[in-house]
C-alpha cells in the first residue's frame, strides 16, 4: 500500500507542485479501504512551496514522543537513559536528516494516552514554530484516533497474534527423550567409574594393611610384582562386587563392616537413580495434551491477559472472549501484562506480534535459569494465524502546516528497501537460541575443586602404596632371615662335634644362646597357630 501511495506522490517531476493525497485519503489507503470516489484527482497541498520551505527552515528541533514498546521504542537495560528501537532509529537517522533537522529529542511517556495528551503532542512546546513534534511507537491507526489527530502514512505493518506456551513437536519430543536417555546412561557410567575409582585404592589399602598375614588380594607365594598383582585383584574385586557379584569377603574388619556395605549401597543407589530417571523421562507432561496452538483452541477454562490501558487491545480481546467464552484478566499497562503472562497468571496473551516477539527475545536473554519465569519464557512462543491486520503510524497534531512535506519524506524513506532491510536486521532479527551441551567452559570456575580432590587422593594413594611396599619388604626380609638361619644351622650340624669342640668357649656360648632363642621363637609361633585354630588342648598349652 505504501508503494501505491509513493507512486502517486513521487511520479511527477519538474518544477510543478507534486500531487499528494489528502489526509483522509491517506488514512483510507493505510487502513486498507478505498477512499471515497470524488471523480477528481487528488488535490495539491494547500500551502505554497515557498511557505512550506520557510516553515521547515524555521524548525530546529524534532521532538519524538514515544512509549516503552520493545523493539519499536525502549530504554536499554545498560543503565543509560537513551531511547532506541525501530521507530526511534527511523526518525533520528532517516526522517530528521531528510527534513534538515539535526537536533532530535526523545521523550519517553507511559502509554498512548499520554502521547495524545497535554504531556505529549498537546504540550506548549509542540506549538512553537521551531519545534516539530511527532508521536511514534507501536501506535495502531484506528478511526477513533484519526478523528483527533493526523496519522502520517503507515511505516510498519503489524499483526495481532497469540502468545502461549507451545507444544513440542513429536520429533522434538523423541529427540529430547533420546538425548535424556543418552545423558542418563553416560551419567551412570561416569558415576560408577568414579565411585569404583575412589573405593578401589581404599579397599586395597585397608585389606592389605588390616588383614594381617592373609589379605584376600595377596597373590600366591613366589609371584613377582606383588604390589601390582594385589592392586589388580582389588580392582577386579571392587568392580565385580559393585555389579552385584558375590565374591570372597575381606578379612580386614573395616573392609568387611564398612567398605563392603558401602559398595552394595552404591549398587542400590545406581538402580534407584536409573529407575526414577527413566520414569521421569517417559512420563509426558499432561499439560502438553491440552496445549494451545491458536485462537480456536481457547476454551472456557483458559485465561487470556490483556492490556486495559490500550483501548484497541481491550475492545479486541473482550470481543473475542464474548464470542468464544474464554476468561480474561485485565492488567494495568503493557509491562504488567507481560509480567502476569510470564508469571503464569494466564494461559495466553493477545497483542501485537512485533511486541510479543520483541519482549520474548529480550526475556530469553535476561531471565536466568532457576528463576520463576525461566521455564515459561523458554517454552512460550507466538502461535496461530494473524487475528487482525494492525498498521502502525506516526502522529501529528491536526492541521499542522508541515504535514504534507513530512509525509512525502516519510513515504520516500519507508519505500526504500535499503532502509527497511537495515531497520529489520537491527531490530526485528530473531536470533537462534543455541542449546549448548555440558562442556568444560560450563564448569570452568569449579574445576579447582575436583583438581584439589584429585591431588589429595594421589598423595594419600602414594602414602598407602609406600606403606604396603614397606610391609611386603619387611615380610620378605623376615622370610630370607629365617631361611639363612636354617641353612647356617644345617651347615654347623654337619661339621660334627670335633669342629664344635675346637671353637672358643665364648663363641660357642654365643651360638648356643642364639640357637636357643630360635627354638623359643618357633615354639611361640606354633603355640599361636594352635590357639588360632582352636585345636583341642590349646588352652592348657
String of DSSP letters for 159-181: EEEEEEEPPPPHHHHHHHHHHHH
Question: In whole angstroms, what is the distance from residue 350 CA to residue 412 CA?
Answer: 33
Instruction: Say whether both 255 and 273 belong to one domain.
Output: yes
Same domain, 18 and 145: yes
User: For residue 512, is it within any domain?
Assistant: yes
- Determine, yes or no, domain membership for 251: yes
Do 384 and 406 sit in the same domain of this protein?
no
Instruction: Identify whether 404 is part of a domain.
Output: yes
Distance (Å, rounded) from C-alpha 264 to C-alpha 252?
17
What is the CATH classification number for the domain harbouring 145? 3.40.190.10
Contact (Cβ atoms closer than 8 angstroms) between residue 153 and residue 414: yes
Note whether 135 and 109 are same-domain residues: yes
Measured between its terminal Cα atoms, the distance across the chain in Å is 118
Q: Residue 3: what pLDDT?
A: 36
> Are residues 330 and 420 both part of a single domain?
no
Whether the predicted pLDDT of 384 surpasses 70 = yes
Residue 25: how many CB atoms within 10 A of its CB? Answer: 18
Residue 163 counted as domain residue: no
Please, is 397 exposed, middle or buried when counting C-beta atoms within 10 Å of its C-beta (0-12, 13-18, 19+)? Answer: middle
Percent of the chain predicted with pLDDT > 70: 70
Q: Are residues 254 and 374 in the same domain?
A: no
Q: How many helices (H) and strands (E) does the chain have?
A: 19, 12
In a domain, 165, yes or no: no
Question: Is 521 in a helix, a strand, or coil?
Answer: helix
Q: Are residues 95 and 237 in the same domain?
A: no
Domain presence at residue 70:
yes
Query: What is the pLDDT at residue 89?
Result: 95
Q: Give 243 or 540, the one with higher predicted confidence.
A: 243
Residues 364 and 267 grouped into a single domain: no
| 248 shares its domain with 197 | yes
Q: In the chain, pLDDT over 90 holds for what percent of residues?
A: 36
Give 391's strand partners.
Answer: 157
Q: Which of 428, 453, 480 is the last residue of a domain?
A: 428
Residue 510's pLDDT is: 62
Q: Spell out the residues 6+ positions from residue 471 whose beta carbon is closer than 8 angstroms to its own.
A: 208, 209
CB 238 within 8 A of CB 203: yes
Strand 303-307 versus strand 327-331 pairing type: parallel
Q: Domain span at residue 473?
A: 441-492
If you count them, how many residues does the chain have? Answer: 541
Q: pLDDT tens digit string along 58-93?
A: 999 999 999 999 999 999 877 677 899 999 999 999
* CB within 8 Å of 200: residues ≥ 6 apart: 231, 234, 235, 238, 239
Q: Do residues 317 and 400 both lie within one domain?
A: no
Q: Do 117 and 9 share a structural domain?
A: yes
* Domain annotation covers residue 57: yes
The 10 Å Cβ neighbour count of residue 136 is 29
Residue that finishes a domain, picked among 258, 285, 312: 285
| Per-residue pLDDT at 248 | 79
For the stretch 128-178, pLDDT in tens is 999 999 999 899 998 889 988 999 999 999 999 999 988 555 555 566 677
Task: Give the model's pLDDT for residue 440.
Answer: 46
If one counts the domains in the chain, the total is 5
Q: Chain-centre distance of CA 51, in angstroms?
A: 59
What is the model's pLDDT at position 254?
Answer: 84
104 and 14 within one domain: yes
Nearest residue to 132 via CA among 103, 158, 161: 103
User: Is the confidence at residue 439, as pLDDT, over 60?
Assistant: no
Q: Name the pLDDT band for 289 (thresholds 50, 70, 90).
A: very low
Q: How far apart are CA 102 and CA 339, in angstroms?
A: 38
From 5-19, 109-123, 503-517, the region with the lowest mean pLDDT? 5-19
Domain assignment present for residue 253? The answer is: yes
pLDDT at 171: 59
Amino acid at each position: 500500500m505504501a508503494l501505491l501511495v509513493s507512486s502517486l506522490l513521487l511520479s511527477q517531476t519538474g518544477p510543478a507542485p507534486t500531487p499528494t493525497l489528502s489526509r483522509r485519503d491517506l488514512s483510507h489507503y493505510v487502513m486498507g479501504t478505498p477512499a471515497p470516489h470524488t471523480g477528481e484527482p487528488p488535490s495539491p497541498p494547500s500551502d505554497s512551496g515557498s511557505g512550506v520551505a520557510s516553515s521547515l527552515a524555521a524548525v530546529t528541533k524534532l521532538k519524538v514522543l514515544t512509549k516503552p514498546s520493545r523493539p519499536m521504542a525502549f530504554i536499554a537495560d545498560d543503565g543509560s537513559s537513551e531511547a532506541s528501537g525501530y521507530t526511534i532509529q527511523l526518525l533520528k537517522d532517516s526522517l530528521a536528516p531528510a527534513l534538515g533537522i539535526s537536533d532530535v529529542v526523545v521523550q519517553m511517556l507511559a502509554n498512548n494516552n499520554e502521547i495524545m495528551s497535554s504531556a505529549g503532542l498537546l504540550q506548549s512546546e509542540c506549538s512553537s514554530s521551531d519545534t516539530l513534534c511527532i508521536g511514534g511507537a507501536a501506535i495502531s491507526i484506528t478511526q477513533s484516533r484519526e478523528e483527533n489527530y493526523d496519522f502520517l502514512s503507515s511505516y510498519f505493518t503489524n499483526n495481532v497474534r497469540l502468545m502461549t506456551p507451545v507444544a513440542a513437536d513429536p520429533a522434538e519430543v523423541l529427540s529430547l527423550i533420546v538425548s535424556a536417555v543418552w545423558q542418563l546412561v553416560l551419567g551412570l557410567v561416569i558415576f560408577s567409574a568414579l565411585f569404583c575409582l575412589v573405593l578401589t585404592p581404599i579397599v586395597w589399602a585397608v585389606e592389605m594393611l588390616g588383614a594381617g598375614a592373609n589379605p584376600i588380594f595377596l597373590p600366591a607365594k613366589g609371584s613377582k610384582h606383588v604390589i601390582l598383582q594385589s592392586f589388580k585383584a582389588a580392582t577386579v574385586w571392587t568392580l565385580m562386587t559393585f555389579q552385584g557379584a558375590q565374591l570372597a569377603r575381606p578379612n580386614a574388619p573395616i573392609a568387611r563392616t564398612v567398605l563392603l556395605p558401602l559398595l552394595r549401597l552404591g549398587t542400590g543407589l545406581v538402580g534407584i537413580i536409573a529407575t526414577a530417571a527413566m520414569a521421569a523421562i517417559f512420563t509426558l507432561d499432561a499439560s502438553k495434551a491440552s496445549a494451545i496452538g491458536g485462537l480456536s483452541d481457547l476454551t472456557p477454562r483458559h485465561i487470556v491477559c490483556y492490556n486495559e490501558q490500550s483501548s484497541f487491545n481491550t475492545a479486541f480481546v473482550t470481543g473475542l472472549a464474548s464470542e468464544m467464552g474464554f476468561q480474561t484478566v485485565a492488567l494495568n499497562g503493557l509491562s504488567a501484562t507481560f509480567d502476569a503472562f510470564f508469571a503464569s497468571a494466564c494461559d495466553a496473551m493477545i497483542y501485537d506480534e512485533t511486541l510479543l516477539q520483541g519482549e520474548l527475545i529480550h526475556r530469553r536473554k535476561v531471565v536466568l535459569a532457576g528463576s520463576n519465569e525461566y521455564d515459561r519464557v523458554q517454552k512460550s512462543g507466538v502461535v496461530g494465524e494473524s487475528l487482525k491486520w494492525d498498521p502502525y503510524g506516526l502522529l501529528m497534531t491536526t492541521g499542522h502546516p508541515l504535514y504534507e512535506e513530512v509525509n512525502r519524506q516519510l513515504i520516500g524513506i519507508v519505500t526504500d528497501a535499503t532502509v527497511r532491510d537495515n531497520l529489520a536486521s537491527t531490530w526485528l532479527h530473531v536470533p537462534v537460541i543455541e542449546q549448548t551441551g555440558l562442556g568444560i567452559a560450563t564448569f570452568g570456575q569449579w574445576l579447582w575443586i575436583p583438581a584439589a580432590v584429585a591431588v589429595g587422593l594421589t598423595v594419600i594413594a602414594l602414602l598407602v602404596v609406600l606403606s604396603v611396599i614397606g610391609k611386603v619388604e619387611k615380610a620378605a626380609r623376615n622370610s630370607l632371615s629365617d631361611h639363612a638361619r636354617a641353612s647356617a644351622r644345617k651347615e654347623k650340624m654337619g661339621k660334627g662335634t670335633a669342629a664344635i669342640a675346637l671353637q672358643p668357649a665364648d663363641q660357642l656360648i654365643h651360638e648356643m644362646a642364639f640357637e636357643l632363642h630360635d627354638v623359643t621363637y618357633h615354639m611361640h609361633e606354633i603355640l599361636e597357630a594352635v590357639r588360632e585354630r582352636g585345636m583341642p588342648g590349646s588352652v592348657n598349652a
